[in-house]
Amino acid sequence: MIKLISGDLKKIKIDTLIIPVCEDNEIDDNELISSLCSKAKSLNEFKGEKGDEVIFYENAEIKSNRVILMGAGKLENIDAEALRSLTGKAVKQAVKRKLEEITIAVPKAGKLNIKMQDLLQALLEGGYLGNHFFDKYKKEKKEKPLKLINFLVSSETAKKFNKLPERVKSVCSATVMAREWVTTPSNDKRPEQFIKSIMTNAEKEGLKARLLNEKELKQKKFGALLAVAAGSTSLPGLVVLEYMPETKKSKKTLALVGKGVTFDSGGINLKPTGSLEDMKTDMSGAAAVAASLIAIARLKPDINIVGVIPVVENMPSGTAARPGDIVKTHDGKTVEIGNTDAEGRLILIDAISYVKKEYNPDTLIDMATLTGACVVALGEKIAGVFSSDDDLAKAIVDSGEATHERCWRMPLPDDYKELIKSDLADLSNMSSSRWGGAITAALFLAEFTGDTKWAHIDIAGPASIKKGNDYCGPGGTGFGVRLLCDFIEKL
């Protein structure tokens, strides 16, 4: 639980007080806190540098069992992300100490040159997300999450931002849900299981959820999606989630499409060892879209939002699609399968065509762990954004900056379209060049978006991490949930 509190440090009883300390400036105007910071800096082992820490026990002036001062580094380097990380780290260390509750002294926004809402939101997010531990498959549960994380502010600030903790909880609990979906091994999230989990959680929040099963997909001629699913014993499905504002005044519709490959073996073009082990994460786009809709149902923005999530398993077998096969898509175009491991774009084009036809959205955004080429281009911490609409691309990048779910706009050059042509079909799902794979994959998707305002976000890099950071453990990161919620709230 995260909570804003206020009060006189001389009077309120606090089990553990955590104070962020700047290396080269005062960032709090409370006399007691300033005195403690000065006392800490008088010690040789503490300068306020990032990573510094000192603990005072049973301070006479403050009713606290312990006061932990944590270095935040130089003032010029303290931004929202630095505070998010500091809070996450504080939580994780408190958990290691087997504490149940902590109180974090919130610095003064003016001294940090950060808006108070942004400062508080970053601290609250770091606390909530840092308090999540994925130990479902461990017999011994070593980490016990904190029961309460307090943030000490003035009474005026507590009153002004009294709704912010609930907003952060709504988004961050959805982020945690996406993390857990991604981290869950594929044997426990076959398409049928993943679909059931999405629909159950969505319906709990009042979203309208329906499923197009394999029979309906065949009737509606989802040829590309079905080709990807053909090699698996698990049945594919297309999940449709709808959020409609209670006011019902909105005339605008946003469509979100998320790639849901619960395990990607590569199909007949089997992936080599080293590339197979992490393929349980190939449904990260679906997790982000589903979790975002769940968060949106709590935030209640005034815009119609539909989430379309194709869910399949890509496996090699006697019934699997083969390289050289030609399939007819839901759109009616034909695609030659140049490589069965370029499967994500095949399920996405059928989902994109469906949502365009059924909902005629004003804006369409798809999110997918689509290409290793994007990771080569941008590394493991930044997503690629592809869009021919400047305003849409900028809005996504800006939301990425605000949430530290960073994105970089990538090009969509027309002359690269030559690379996805086929001699035998309308298109090939595989580029004729080994270079620029993230671009040609995006251009392939663009062939099915028509004149709809569209953006593609390739999250192959940041969707999961092998080594945890200050507010996320190893596994799924939930990347995209905070980004999409920020984007939607700003529409």
Q: What is the pTM of this model?
A: 0.96
> What is the C-alpha to C-alpha distance for residues 405 and 288, in angstroms, rounded to an integer?
12
Percent of all residues in the chain with a pLDDT value above 90, rounded to a whole number: 95
| 48 pLDDT higher than 80 | yes
pLDDT at 62: 86
Instruction: Give the domain CATH number at 148.
Output: 3.40.220.10
Q: Is residue 218 part of a domain?
A: yes
| 441 pLDDT higher than 90 | yes
Judge if 359 and 278 occupy the same domain: yes
Burial class (CB in 10 A: 0-12, 13-18, 19+), 408: middle
Contact 70, 105 (CB under 8 A): no
* Among the ranges given (95-99, 224-228, 243-247, 277-281), the one the predictor scored with the smallest mean pLDDT: 243-247
Judge if 380 and 477 occupy the same domain: yes
pLDDT at 407: 98
Judge if 113 and 257 occupy the same domain: no
Q: Is residue 471 part of a domain?
A: yes
- Domain membership of residue 121 as a residue range: 2-156
pLDDT at 28: 92
pLDDT at 16: 95
| pLDDT tens, residue by residue, 197-237 | 999 999 999 999 999 999 999 999 999 999 999 999 999 99
Question: How many domains is the chain built from?
Answer: 2
pLDDT at 218: 98
Judge if 76 and 191 occupy the same domain: no
Rounded mean pLDDT of 283-307?
Answer: 97
Q: Is residue 383 part of a domain?
A: yes
- Which residue among 124, 156, 188 closes a domain? 156
Judge if 128 and 26 occupy the same domain: yes
Name the average pLDDT for the chain. Answer: 96
Q: Is residue 213 part of a domain?
A: yes
Q: Tell me the pLDDT band of 77, cut-offs 50, 70 and 90.
A: very high
Judge if 174 and 58 occupy the same domain: no
Looking at residue 21, its amino acid is: V
Q: Is residue 161 part of a domain?
A: no
Rounded mean pLDDT of 159-172?
Answer: 98
Judge if 124 and 196 occupy the same domain: no
Report the DSSP pairing between strands 363-368 and 464-465.
unpaired
| 188 pLDDT higher than 80 | yes
| pLDDT tens, residue by residue, 98-154 | 999 999 999 999 999 999 999 999 999 999 999 999 999 999 988 999 999 999 999
Contact 102, 112 (CB under 8 A): no
Q: Is residue 162 part of a domain?
A: no
pLDDT at 251: 83
Nearest by Cα to 51 from 97, 82, 17: 82
List C-alpha distances in Å: 343 to 22, 224, 227, 471.
Answer: 49, 9, 9, 32
Q: Is residue 163 part of a domain?
A: no
Judge if 233 and 119 occupy the same domain: no
List C-alpha distances in Å: 227 to 6, 57, 195, 218, 345.
Answer: 59, 64, 19, 11, 12
| 472 pLDDT higher than 90 | yes
Rounded mean pLDDT of 415-443?
Answer: 98
Instruction: Give the domain CATH number at 330.
Output: 3.40.630.10
> What is the C-alpha to C-alpha distance for residues 96 and 199, in angstroms, rounded to an integer?
35
Report the DSSP pairing between strands 304-314 and 326-328.
unpaired
Rounded mean pLDDT of 442-466?
Answer: 98
Judge if 319 and 402 occupy the same domain: yes
Judge if 127 and 264 occupy the same domain: no
End-to-end CA distance of the chain: 29
Active centre residues (catalytic): 271, 345
Return the HEC string of the chain: CEEEECCCCCCCCEEEEEEEEECCCCCCCCHHHHHHHHHHHCCCCCCCCCCCEEEEECCCCCCEEEEEEEEEECHHHCCHHHHHHHHHHHHHHHHHCCCCEEEEECCCHHHHCCCHHHHHHHHHHHHHHHCCCCCCCCCCCCCCCCCEEEEECCHHHHHHCCCHHHHHHHHHHHHHHHHHHHHCCHHHCCHHHHHHHHHHHHHHCCCEEEEECHHHHHHCCCHHHHHHHCCCCCCCEEEEEEECCCCCCCCCEEEEEECEEEEECCCCCCCCCCCCCCHHHCCHHHHHHHHHHHHHHHHCCCCEEEEEEEEEEECCCCCCCCCCCEEECCCCCEEECCCCCCCHHHHHHHHHHHHHHHHCCCEEEEEECCCHHHHHHHCCCCEEEECCCHHHHHHHHHHHHHHCCCEEEECCCHHHHHHHCCCCCCEECCCCCCCCHHHHHHHHHHCCCCCCEEEEEECCCCCEECCCECCECCEECCCCHHHHHHHHHCC
Q: Tell me the pLDDT band of 285, cut-offs 50, 70 and 90.
A: very high
Percent of all residues in the chain with a pLDDT value above 70, rounded to a whole number: 100
> What is the C-alpha to C-alpha distance for residues 91 and 124, in angstroms, rounded to an integer?
11
> What is the C-alpha to C-alpha distance for residues 458 and 127, in angstroms, rounded to an integer?
27
List C-alpha distances in Å: 407 to 79, 360, 374, 398, 467.
Answer: 18, 26, 11, 8, 21
Beta carbons within 8 Å of 102's beta carbon, 6+ residues apart = 15, 16, 17, 18, 90, 91, 94, 146, 148, 149, 150
């994460």: which residue's tokens?
Answer: 281
pLDDT at 452: 98
| 63 pLDDT higher than 90 | no
Q: Is residue 217 part of a domain?
A: yes
């504002």: which residue's tokens?
Answer: 245
Judge if 314 and 442 occupy the same domain: yes
Rounded mean pLDDT of 323-350?
Answer: 98
Judge if 224 and 361 occupy the same domain: yes
pLDDT at 246: 84
Rounded mean pLDDT of 164-189?
Answer: 98
pLDDT at 71: 97
pLDDT at 154: 95
> What is the C-alpha to C-alpha distance for residues 352 and 308, in angstroms, rounded to an integer?
8
